[in-house]
Structure 1
Amino acid sequence: MSVTCTGGDRVFTASVSGEVDHHRARRIMEELEQAIDGGAPRQFTLDLSEVTFMDSSGIAVVLRVYRRVRALGGEMIVAHPPAQAAKVLKAAGIDRLIRFLE
């Protein structure tokens, strides 16, 4: 599992790879919060294309990132979620709050 953040000028992409489960969710969230707090993004893309598994802990991570970005006046996008992760997020209705790029 890893989180890689790229970008600048308040437009960032955070790429998450590996499993997003209850064992790793806290560490992922801490890394994402550091990126958000350090850059105050107006656009924050969460790229999930390299996620191999996601459970309900992933829902909590995505919602927490969404709230943090919105509190700073930014927009969040979930990009390229694999089928399994997309199914988990859409079952929770996340796609009604956050724009998805498939």
Structure 2
Amino acid sequence: MKINATTVDRNLLLECRGELDHSGAKEAMRELDLALDAALPLRLVLDFSGITFMDSSGIALVLRAHHKMQLFGGNLVLCNVPSQAMRVLDAAGISRIVTIRQEERQ
């Protein structure tokens, strides 16, 4: 699991690549926390276009990002979610609490 972070003003874009499973999510959560603490963004965009597989560990990552953004008084957007990952997110009802869009970037 690799994450590329780009910050512009108080907007943070995290481009996620690889498998978002148990082992990948642990690394991704660490990277997420470091990037959020460094940027203190008002808007976080998680670009999932590079996700090749996601299980329930990905839900934990999204919920963690959502919670941290609430603490910052900001918002979270997921974008470019592949169909397999979207099925996992839909099964958990994530779209009721997080904005999910296609083709959105910072």
In the superposition, the TM-score normalised over structure 2's length comes to 0.93
* Alignment root-mean-square deviation, CA: 0.7
- Secondary structure of the corresponding residue to residue 68 of structure 1: helix
Rounded Cα–Cα distance in structure 1 between residues aligned with 2:89 and 2:76: 14
Which residues of structure 1 form unaligned runs of 5+?
none
Q: Which residue of 2 aligns with 1:32?
A: 32
The letter for the 2-side match of 1:6 is T
1:40-55 equivalences in 2 (<5 Å): 40-55=40-55
TM-score (norm 1): 0.97
3-state SS in 1 of match to 2:16: strand
Moved segments of 4+, more than 3 Å: none
How many residues are aligned here? Answer: 102
Percent sequence identity is 41
Q: Deviations over 1:7-35 (max 9, x none)?
A: 22110100100000011111100001111
How far apart, CA to CA, are the structure 2 residues paired with 1:7 and 1:64?
19
Question: Partner residue of 2:89?
Answer: 89
